[in-house]
Every structure is written in C-alpha cells, then in structure tokens.
C-alpha cells in the first residue's frame, strides 16, 4: 500500500514538473475510451530516435524539459486544459500563408505533450502537397499517409513511434490528390479506425496554409478544433482576422499563436516570443 502511495505521489510530482494540472489529468483518465489502453499495438511500431543535432536544426526544443521548451510547455498546458474541458481530441494546426511555423509548432506541441507519460499522442503530416514533418524528424518512410488512407499500406507498417507514447504519420512524398483525399469518406473512416485501434488521447494534424489552397476545407469536419499560427514578421492582421473567421465557420478555434516574435516579454518569466 505504501509503495502504491509512493508511486502515485511520484506520478503527481512528474505532472507538477511538467506543469500539468492533476484535476485535468484525472478527468482524462476517467474517460471510458481510455480503459484497456492497447499497449502492444503501440510497442510494435518502429521506433525512431532524434539526435540533439537534428533537434537543434529542426528547432524541436520541446524534446526535453529545458528553458527552451517553456513556450511549448505553456502552449501544451493551455491546449490540454481546453481539450479536456471541452471533451475534444482532434486538433488541426494551420496558418494563413506558408512558412508561419505550423510544422514546427505541431512537432513541438506533440513532443511537449508526450513528455507527459499519461498521454498518448498521434501526430499526422496532413500538409499533403508540401509534407515536412519527415524533415523535422529526419526520418524518411517508404510509404505515405495517402497510402495508408487508401488502404494500400497498414497503419502499423507506416506509423513510427517516438518514445513510448508519441506516434507519427509521415510522408515520403507529396500526394497526387490532396484536396479530394482530405475531404473523402476514406479519410473519415481511416481516422475512426485509427482511433479504435490506437486510442490516442490527442490527435494533432499539421495542415496546409489556408490562403493557398482549399485542401483544409473538407477535412475540418473531422476535427474538434483548430489552432491558427501567424508569423510576426509576415502575417498581417487582416490575414489573421480573415482566417480566424473562416476557421470558426468550420470548427472551434482553440486560439491564435503569434510565432517568430523578435520581442519577448520578460515579465512573463518566459523568454519565449509567443503570444497565445
């Protein structure tokens, strides 16, 4: 009994270190779909490692707990709180134009969340025209998510695992029919089946930019909420307003992240350069 208490206290301590609210995690643990987590299906996925050189060059600072991970850890805590409070699981990350930092934020948010051992996170590269997550993780797969969605390759042969609790769907190359695929019934069915098998707590979708194509439009019906990323140096207030309005017509807007800020507000205690 004493050992059990000690183990529970250790888990609570880890959560406190990770900035996770115990009440929030408690709500998550009581979800009916979290019972009997399928450990073996996760364990059998091919595992990838990320060297510190790759982490540095890809700006994946949330890979370990450090002052550099603080902005993403803050984003994680707020995101997690909102997802759990609303009973949401599927989060799409998009931006008005290219290069705002969607992929970087998606990877870091997923990594930061995965440092919380109680959570199971699935990250998908759904920027099917210009996939980039494979570059961030410096891992090339033989197949694509389009192959998995179209039933040509099994998810278990395609998805890779980072650590115990983050699985990632990468793309070896762009898809031929991104817009049609993303709004198809096949994609909807694939996501349902994926959830049944892997039971992730949170699914994060790295999406294409909103003002460059209509790829995202048909897919948004599959998500619970969206996070809009703007780049401080290139995104205009008009673009952000326009996209926030458009996004809110398609799904719930979780928030807007202003990325690539040069200025940082030291009064927050974080030298992070993000507004949320």
Ligand X SMILES: Nc1ncnc2c1ncn2[C@@H]1O[C@H](COP(=O)(O)OP(=O)(O)OP(=O)(O)O)[C@@H](O)[C@H]1O
Residue 18 interaction partner, one of ligand X, Mg ion, none, beta carbon < 5-8 Å per kind: none
For position 62 contacting ligand X by CB under 6 A, the verdict is no
For position 199 contacting ligand X by CB under 6 A, the verdict is no
Residue 148 interaction partner, one of ligand X, Mg ion, none, beta carbon < 5-8 Å per kind: none
For position 114 contacting ligand X by CB under 6 A, the verdict is no
Residue 25 sits at the vertex; the CA angle it makes with 169 and 72, to the nearest 5 degrees, is 55
- Beta carbon nearer to Mg ion, 127 or 215: 127
Q: Which stretch binds ligand X (CB under 6 A): 21-29, 102-110, 159-167, 213-221?
A: 102-110
| Dihedral Cα 274, 118, 33, 222, nearest 10 deg | 20
Q: Which stretch binds ligand X (CB under 6 A): 46-54, 73-81, 124-132, 172-180?
A: 124-132
CB of 52 to ligand X, least distance (A): 16
Alpha carbons 269 and 70: distance in angstroms, whole number: 10
The residue with its CB nearest to Mg ion is: 103
Alpha carbons 22 and 105: distance in angstroms, whole number: 25
Binding site for Mg ion (CB under 5 A): 102-103, 127, 132
Residue 129 neighbours by CB distance under 10 Å:
13
CB of 213 to ligand X, least distance (A): 11
Residue 203 neighbours by CB distance under 10 Å:
25
- Distance separating the N- and C-terminal Cα atoms of the chain: 43
Residue 99 interaction partner, one of ligand X, Mg ion, none, beta carbon < 5-8 Å per kind: ligand X
Instruction: Pick one of 20, 132, 170, 256: the residue that binds ligand X (CB under 6 A).
Output: 132
* 87 and 106 Cβ atoms separated by less than 8 Å: no
> What are the b/e assignments for 131-141, b being 16+ CB within 10 Å?
bbbbebbebeb
CB of 153 to ligand X, least distance (A): 23
Q: Report the candidate in 200, 204, 187 with the shortest Cα–Cα distance to residue 254.
A: 204
Q: Residue 231: left (phi > 0), alpha (psi -120 to 50), or beta?
A: beta
For position 28 contacting ligand X by CB under 6 A, the verdict is no
Tokens matching residue 31: 């979800």
* 240: helix, strand or coil: helix
* 204: helix, strand or coil: strand
- From residue 232 to residue 271, the character string flagging contacts with ligand X as x (rule: CB under 6 A) and all else as - is ---------------------------xx-----------
Instruction: Pick one of 125, 127, 215, 246: the residue that binds ligand X (CB under 6 A).
Output: 127
Instruction: Pick one of 76, 90, 102, 158: the residue that binds ligand X (CB under 6 A).
Output: 102
* 102 and 94 Cβ atoms separated by less than 8 Å: yes
For position 175 contacting ligand X by CB under 6 A, the verdict is no
Residue 59 interaction partner, one of Mg ion, ligand X, none, beta carbon < 5-8 Å per kind: ligand X
Residues found near ligand X in the complex (CB under 6 A): 59, 95, 98-104, 127, 130, 132, 209, 259-260
């Amino acid at each position: 009994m004493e050992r059990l208490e000690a183990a529970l206290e250790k888990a609570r301590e880890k959560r406190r270190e990770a900035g996770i609210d115990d009440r929030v995690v408690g709500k998550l643990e009581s979800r009916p779909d979290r019972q009997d987590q399928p450990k073996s299906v996760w364990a059998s996925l091919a595992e990838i490692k990320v060297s510190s050189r790759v982490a540095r060059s890809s700006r994946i600072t949330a890979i370990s707990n450090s002052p550099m991970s603080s902005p993403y850890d803050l984003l994680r805590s707020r995101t997690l709180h909102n997802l759990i409070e609303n009973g949401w699981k599927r989060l799409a990350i998009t931006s008005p134009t290219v290069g705002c930092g969607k992929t970087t934020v998606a990877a870091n948010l997923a990594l930061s969340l995965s440092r919380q051992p109680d959570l199971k996170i699935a990250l998908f590269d759904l920027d099917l025209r210009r996939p980039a997550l494979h570059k961030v993780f410096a891992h090339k797969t033989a197949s694509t998510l389009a192959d998995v969605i179209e039933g040509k390759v099994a998810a278990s042969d395609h998805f890779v695992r980072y650590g115990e609790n983050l699985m990632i769907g990468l793309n070896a190359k762009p898809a031929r029919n991104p817009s049609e695929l993303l709004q198809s019934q096949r994609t909807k069915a694939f996501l349902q089946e994926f959830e049944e098998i892997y039971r992730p707590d949170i699914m994060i979708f790295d999406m294409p930019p909103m003002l460059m194509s209509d790829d995202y439009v048909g897919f948004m019906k599959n998500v619970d909420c969206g996070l809009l990323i703007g780049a401080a140096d290139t995104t205009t207030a008009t673009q952000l307003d326009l996209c926030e309005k458009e996004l809110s017509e398609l799904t719930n807007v979780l928030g807007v992240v202003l990325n690539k800020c040069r200025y940082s507000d030291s009064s927050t205690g974080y030298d992070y350069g993000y507004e949320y």
